[in-house]
């Protein structure tokens, strides 16, 4: 840079500026020198440079403010290494192959009678996805255990949505254990603390529901749905791992946006009294391949999307209030873009770049929960009245394929 020190060290301005501020640059007294050096520098800059500085710097700061999260996510492969690889257990299934043979293919024996199965979830507002879940699992579940709080994980008061819709779940009523827990409403607390608190309450509810040793317990969020045949396999086979994660297909907004096949948080446990604790993090290395579906943010109404965005543990991702604008939400979910305008959370540049941009539409509705196909008409997405019809009326089927065209038409 041209205003840097000259070679001799005695001249603080380069030859070019000597004539502009020569008298200052020539001085030797040190205190005055540093001040005058700045003045000299400033005087040396012309108007264009000022303009450049005063527009470039704020622009840079604004850019970093808006995209800082993106920059750090993009650089994630540099500062975070991927978690330890799972040990994938191949999953064998065909409806016409006997259970004895299927168990044997997995290296397990077959039992004389099946284990009892408990499905336990924390419920927030996912009425439709809970229906799809319970219809899918219904034949093999001994007790459906559901716990609801009047607080979201983010400490906002919420209505007891399950209680309000309980009549829609009559089909599980004889096998239902429903409990509520009062929120603690701690302002500014990390949402994961409230979540952990609710999971402890769920442990108690499970004991009330009568769970005992060697019963199967499904630990997963409402939207992580093991396929029916997976649960049937695990209840019939002997010697299955004590704890087993389930690899699920990841969908976003509806079953027409298949993101990847790598959801892993759901797990199945052979219950051990006094030892098993309800958890939703990594608990073992074993994972069973292709064991169901994880449909995140799968709702029918824009209002439900917005509620979830505010309620969920990553509320910090709502960095700007316009993210919650219904029109924007609709545009984003029709496109398959990101509601929080974030980059894919991956561990290698290859994966990040591969997943950038909207999710491609899937044209397969094969091997989805049966209830979804049987009720495709009813499970169409529709927006809240807050969006004017011509701008915002979406009819996007949760089963995807042909009905997505309607979404495109309105976006
Ligand atoms: C497959 O299963 C169906 C129904 O259980 C049965 O009718 C059919 O005969 C089976 N096919 C074979 C090849 O075993
Ligand atoms: C939440 O539930 C608890 C226990 O039922 C109750 O005491 C509390 O008043 C409720 N709070 C709100 C905001 O509804
Ligand atoms: C997920 O797995 C299926 C096969 O089960 C495959 O056809 C599909 O391409 C995979 N999708 C992605 C996004 O990896």
Distance CA 345, CA 241 (A): 29
Question: Which of 227, 248, 251, 261 best tests ligand 3's pocket when mutated (most atoms within 8 Å of CB)?
Answer: 261
Residue 203 CA to ligand 2 center (angstroms) comes to 20
Q: Is 394 left (phi over 0), alpha (psi -120 to 50) or beta?
A: beta
Q: Are residues 98 and 22 in the same domain?
A: no
- Please report whether residue 309 resides in a domain: no
Of the ligands numbered here, which is closest to the C-alpha atom of 95? 1
Spatial CB neighbours of 91, under 8 Å, sequence gap ≥ 6: 106, 230, 288, 289, 290, 291
Distance 122 CA to ligand 2 centre (A): 17
70 & 92 share domain:
no
What's the gap in Å between 152 CA and the centre of ligand 2? 12
**Residues 299, 254: contact at Cβ < 8 Å?**
no
**Ligand 3 centre from 221 Cα, in Å?**
22
What number does the ligand 3 atom closest to the CA of 249 have? 1
- What would the pLDDT profile of 108-149 be if each residue is shown by its tens digit? 999 999 999 999 999 998 998 999 999 999 999 999 999 999
> Is residue 63 located within the same domain as residue 184?
no
Q: Report pTM.
A: 0.78
How high is the pLDDT of residue 326? 81
Q: Are residues 187 and 235 in the same domain?
A: yes
Q: Are residues 115 and 253 in the same domain?
A: yes
Res 381: pLDDT: 62
Name residues whose C-beta falls within 8 Å of residue 188's C-beta, 6 or more positions apart in sequence.
155
**Residue 280 corresponds to which tokens in the numbers above?**
């939703």
Looking at the structure, do residues 101 and 67 belong to the same domain, yes or no?
no
Q: Check residue 402 and give its pLDDT.
A: 32
Q: Tell which wins on pLDDT, 243 or 64.
A: 243
Report whether pLDDT(408) > 50.
Answer: no
pLDDT the model gives residue 71: 72
Atom number of ligand 2 nearest to Cα 180: 5
Contacts 24+ apart (CB under 8 A), 188-196: 188/155, 189/155, 191/153, 191/154, 191/155, 191/312, 191/313, 191/314, 191/315, 192/153, 192/313, 194/149, 194/151, 194/152, 194/153, 194/154, 194/155, 195/122, 195/153, 195/280, 195/313
Q: Is residue 183 in contact with ligand 2, taking CB distance under 6 Å?
A: yes
- Exposure on the CB side of residue 118, measured as CA atoms within 13 A: 26
> pLDDT tens across 269-306, in order?
999 999 999 999 999 999 999 999 999 888 877 888 88
Distance CA 19, CA 25 (A): 10
What token pair was written down for 391?
A: 């701008």
Average pLDDT (207-231) is 97
Does 99 fall in a domain?
A: yes
Q: How far apart are CA 250 and CA 257, in angstroms?
A: 9
Tokens encoding 55 = 């527009």
Residue 306, in any domain of the structure: no
Give residue 95's pLDDT. 94
Minimum mean pLDDT among 61-65, 108-112, 253-257: which range? 61-65
Q: Work out the pLDDT band at 31, boundaries 50, 70, 90.
A: low
CA of 292 to the centre of ligand 3 (A): 13
- Is there a domain that residue 243 lies in? yes
Tell me if residue 177 falls in helix, strand or coil: strand
Nearest-CA residue for atom 14 of ligand 3:
260
- Considering the domain architecture, whether residues 138 and 234 belong to the same structural domain is answered as yes
268 pLDDT above the threshold of 50: yes
Q: How far is the CA of 311 from the centre of ligand 2 (A)?
A: 17
How far from chain centre, in Å, is Cα 115?
32
The larger pLDDT score, comparing residue 171 to residue 310, is at 171
For 314-337, the pLDDT digits (tens) are: 667 776 777 788 888 887 888 788
Q: Nearest to residue 410, comparing CAs of 357, 335, 360? A: 335
Indicate the SS3 state at residue 117. strand
Q: How far is the CA of 353 from the centre of ligand 3 (A)?
A: 18
Q: Mark which of 76, 100, 118 sits at the end of a domain.
A: 76
> Which range marks the domain in which residue 142 is found?
87-296
Residue 174 in contact with ligand 2 by CB distance below 6 A: no
Q: Which of 6, 231, 232 is nearest to 99 (CA)?
A: 232
Q: Are residues 92 and 235 in the same domain?
A: yes
Same domain, yes or no, for 39 and 119? Answer: no
CA end-to-end span of the chain, whole Å? 51
Partner residues linked to 246 by β-bridges: 288
- 286 with 326, same domain: the answer is no
CATH of the domain at 207: 3.90.550
Q: Which of 266, 296, 326 is at the close of a domain?
A: 296
Sequence-separated (6 or more) residues with CB below 8 Å from residue 184: 151, 155, 194, 197
CA 309 – ligand 2 centroid, Å: 22
Q: Which of 233, 267, 296 corresponds to the end of one domain?
A: 296
Give me the chain's average pLDDT, please: 81
Q: Is residue 5 part of a domain?
A: no
- How is residue 237 annotated by DSSP? B
Q: Which ligand is nearest to the CA of 250?
A: 3
Ligand 3 site residues, Cβ closer than 6 angstroms: 258, 260-261, 290
| DSSP-assigned states of every residue in 122-159 | EESS-HHHHHHHHHHHGGG-SEEEEEEESB-TTS-B--
Say if 8 falls within a structural domain.
no
157 lines ligand 2 (CB under 6 A): yes
Ligand nearest to the CA of 179: 2
DSSP helix/strand/coil, 359: coil
Mutate which of 148, 149, 150 to test ligand 2's pocket (most atoms within 8 Å of Cβ)?
Answer: 150
Number of domains in the chain: 3
Question: Which residue's alpha carbon is at the smallest distance from atom 13 of ligand 2?
Answer: 157
* Interval between CA 183 and ligand 2 midpoint (Å): 7
- Express each pLDDT in 333-355 by its tens digit: 887 888 877 767 776 777 777 77
Please report the pLDDT score of residue 38 as a whole number: 64
How do residues 386-401 score in pLDDT, each as one tens digit?
Answer: 333 333 334 444 444 3
Answer yes or no: do 140 and 235 share one domain: yes
Type and span of the H or E element at 270: strand 267-270
**Atom number of ligand 3 nearest to Cα 258:** 13
Please tell me whether residues 398 and 329 are part of one structural domain: yes
For residue 358, count other CB atoms closer than 10 A to its CB. 12
In a domain, 1, yes or no: no
Nearest CA to ligand 2 atom 3: 182
User: Is residue 192 pLDDT above 80, yes or no?
Assistant: yes
Residue 304 placed within a domain: no
- Residue 91: nearest ligand to its CA? 3
Ligand nearest to the CA of 97: 1
User: Nearest ligand to the C-alpha of residue 261?
Assistant: 3
Mean pLDDT of 45-71: 76
H-type helices in 138-222, by residue range? 161-164, 191-208
């Amino acid at each position: 840079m041209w205003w840097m020190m000259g070679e001799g060290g005695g001249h603080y301005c380069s030859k070019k500026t000597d004539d502009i501020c020569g008298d200052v640059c020539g001085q030797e007294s040190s205190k005055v020198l540093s001040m005058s050096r700045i003045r000299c520098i400033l005087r040396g800059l012309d108007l264009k440079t000022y303009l450049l500085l005063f527009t470039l710097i704020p622009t840079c700061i604004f850019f970093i403010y808006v995209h800082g999260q993106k920059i750090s996510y993009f650089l994630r492969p540099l500062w975070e290494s991927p978690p330890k690889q799972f040990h994938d257990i191949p999953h064998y299934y065909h409806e016409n192959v006997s259970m004895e043979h299927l168990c044997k293919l997995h290296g397990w024996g077959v039992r004389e009678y099946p284990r009892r199965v408990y499905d336990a979830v924390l419920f927030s507002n996912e009425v439709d996805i809970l229906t799809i879940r319970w219809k899918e699992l219904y034949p093999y579940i001994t007790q459906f255990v559901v716990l609801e709080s009047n607080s979201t994980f983010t400490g906002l008061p919420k209505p007891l949505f399950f209680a309000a819709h309980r009549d829609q779940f009559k089909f599980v009523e004889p096998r239902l254990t429903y409990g509520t827990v009062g929120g603690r409403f701690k302002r500014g607390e990390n949402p994961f603390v409230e979540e952990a608190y609710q999971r402890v309450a769920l442990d108690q509810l499970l004991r009330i529901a009568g769970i005992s040793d060697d019963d199967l317990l499904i630990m997963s969020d409402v939207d992580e749905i093991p396929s029916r045949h997976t649960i049937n396999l695990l209840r019939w086979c002997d010697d299955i791992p004590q704890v087993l994660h389930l690899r699920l297909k990841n969908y976003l907004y509806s079953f027409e946006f298949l993101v990847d096949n790598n959801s892993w948080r759901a797990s199945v446990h052979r219950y051990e009294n006094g030892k098993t604790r309800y958890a939703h993090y990594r608990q073992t290395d074993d994972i069973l391949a292709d064991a169901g579906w994880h449909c995140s943010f799968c709702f029918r109404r824009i209002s439900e999307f917005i509620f979830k965005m505010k309620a969920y543990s990553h509320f910090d991702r709502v960095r700007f209030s316009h993210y919650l604008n219904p029109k924007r939400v609709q545009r984003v979910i029709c496109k398959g873009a990101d509601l929080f305008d974030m980059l894919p959370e991956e561990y290698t540049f290859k994966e990040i770049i591969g997943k950038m941009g909207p999710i491609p539409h899937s044209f397969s509705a094969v091997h989805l929960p049966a209830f979804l196909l049987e009720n495709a008409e009813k499970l169409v997405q529709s927006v809240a009245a807050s969006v004017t019809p011509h701008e915002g009326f979406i009819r996007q089927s949760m089963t995807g394929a042909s009905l997505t065209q309607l979404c495109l038409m309105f976006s």
